Amino acid sequence: MAISTPEETLTLTQDRVPVSDLRRRPPPSTAISSVLDSSSKTCALPDGSSKDDSSDNSSVGNTFDGEQRNPSVDGGYRTDKVDGDDRTDKVKRDEARIGNGEDRGKTVDFRFPYGPSVPAHRRVVESPLSSDLIFKQSHAGLFNLCIVVLIAVNSRLIIENLMKYGLLIGSGFWFSSRSLKDWPLFMCCLSLSIFPLCAFMVEKLAQQKLISELVVVSLHVTITMAEIIYPVFVILRSDSAVLSGITLMILTCVVWLKLVSYAHTNYDIRALCKSADKGDAPFNYVSANGAHNISFQNLAYFMAAPTLCYQPSYPRTTCIRKNWVLRQFIKLVIFTGVMGFIIEQYINPIVTNSQHPLKGNFLYAVERVLKLSVPTLYVWLCMFYCLFHLWLNILAELLCFGDREFYKDWWNATTVDEYWRKWNMPVHKWMTRHVYFPCLRNGIPKGVSFVIAFFISAVFHELCIGVPCHIFTFWAFMGIMLQVPLVIITNYLQNKFRNTMVGNMIFWFFFCIYGQPMCVLLYYHDVMNRRVRTE
């Protein structure tokens, strides 16, 4: 299509739309098609003559004044740089020459050749938020909006809390005169190293074949049971802080899991060695990693390494990044302080002004749970970041421990089962290696093995919370065992709806909105009631 003016003629070439882009659209009307076809073929020249563009068009595009036009781009007028100048500068020079009367009679390629007859709708396109496209594009802008809103809302809450309560956190949160009463727990923590030494001596005797396998198993069972009963007895006999007791019980459970793995792995290696001597085993771990050697160095490294599964050798890194370790340690201190601030400033006032969730008004209990859900969620996320990312990575870097898959993307879990497989990888690997697959090898059904794994996890959760609180209401135990029906329900919903968003929302609701605040309220009021009765 050509538009003639008294001064110059501006040429517009219509690009052609692929038929595949409009396969679900009816073809344009005959009148418009004829006008577009005729305008795309014939261009008016300043002397009144016409020229057929089809003879000059190539598969790449037309060239005007040293510029190349690419018809594959929308509008067909993408222009590359010419002699180091971009297209904007060249258009300005062309306009200046035309304004000065120079280069008249030349065809000028303007930047926006979009005439009224050019089709505005050329292909079938869905809206960006439609179900077909919503997960196929970036949502970085909406993510930034959520961050801005989150910062604004929480800033208001912080200001409101400070105006209402003042600054509640003090030096007593880190150390107080009550901390001196925890010295039995500290001594118990140091004495836990005796049990790995006993396990090492048993394995040395077994390696030299001085004791039978039955005696070895009996001694390991005795050592592991004593290792977990001893700290429980110390905590129950002392009037220690709940936080100190939880710390000791977590360390006790970690040592117990390591001792079980140490004994079970060495037992399996001895069995493989015997099979290899008889020629019954085509491949075993010992043949791939050298002779079975029980050394104190291997045990010491295993007890300090950020893993719960023993093996004679681990993948190692070549050096220690000291500056990286320093940065991670600074982050650890900062986020620990953030956790302390949230606990003292938000969680304590909320639970202090609350009632027992199972004995008071139902709507009031729901309001308390929802109000407590946000700060407990923040504390839980900070705890995860401090423990599983910062602390375990610092420990791995100092020990040159190579396998640092301490967690996976559990935040994208669509079922409760997927969450437990990704949330705590050291415990998950221990469970599959020393509980789940041994049950399957011994003929136990898959479902029963699954329940056994959750039962062991529930027992340790109750020990880590109930023993330091000096109460055994089994809230933690029941909370973990309730994960079994939740696994079945979320798996059913996932298979029924085939929608990852539904399962992910169910996971976040049960764990963060309902589960954790409810557990905090239940244990807090039970602890307060116990103190009232004892006083």
Q: Is residue 251 helix, strand or coil?
A: helix
The helix/strand/coil state of 165 is helix
Hey, is 467 helix, strand or coil?
Answer: helix
Which two tokens mark 374?
């946000």
The whole-angstrom separation of Cα 446 and Cα 470 is 35
d(CA 255, CA 248) in angstroms, rounded, equals: 11
User: How far is the C-alpha of 384 from the C-alpha of 366, rounded, in Å?
Assistant: 26
| Contact by Cβ (8 Å): 487, 500 | no
Which residues of 105-262 form beta strands (DSSP E)?
A: none
* Whether the Cβ atoms of residue 37 and residue 46 lie closer than 8 Å to each other: no
Name the maximum alpha-carbon separation found in the chain.
113
C-beta of residue 515 within 8 angstroms of C-beta of residue 475: no
| Helix, strand, or coil (residue 297) | helix
185 contact partners, CB below 8 Å, separation of at least 6: 231, 234, 235, 238, 240, 244, 245, 247, 248
470 is catalytic: no
C-alpha span between 523 and 469 (Å, rounded): 8
- Per-residue buried b or exposed e for 324-362, using 16+ beta carbons within 10 Å of the residue's own CB: eeeebeeebeebbeebebbbbbbbbebbeebeebeeeee
Enter the tokens of residue 250: 């977590």
Are 423 and 507 in contact by the 8 Å Cβ rule? The answer is no
Q: How far apart are CA 310 and CA 203, in angstroms?
A: 13
Q: Which residues of 493-510 are buried (b: 16+ CB within 10 A; e: fewer)?
A: bbeeeeeeeebbebbeeb
Q: Which of 220, 434, 461, 525 is labelled catalytic?
A: 461
Catalytic residue positions, numbered:
461
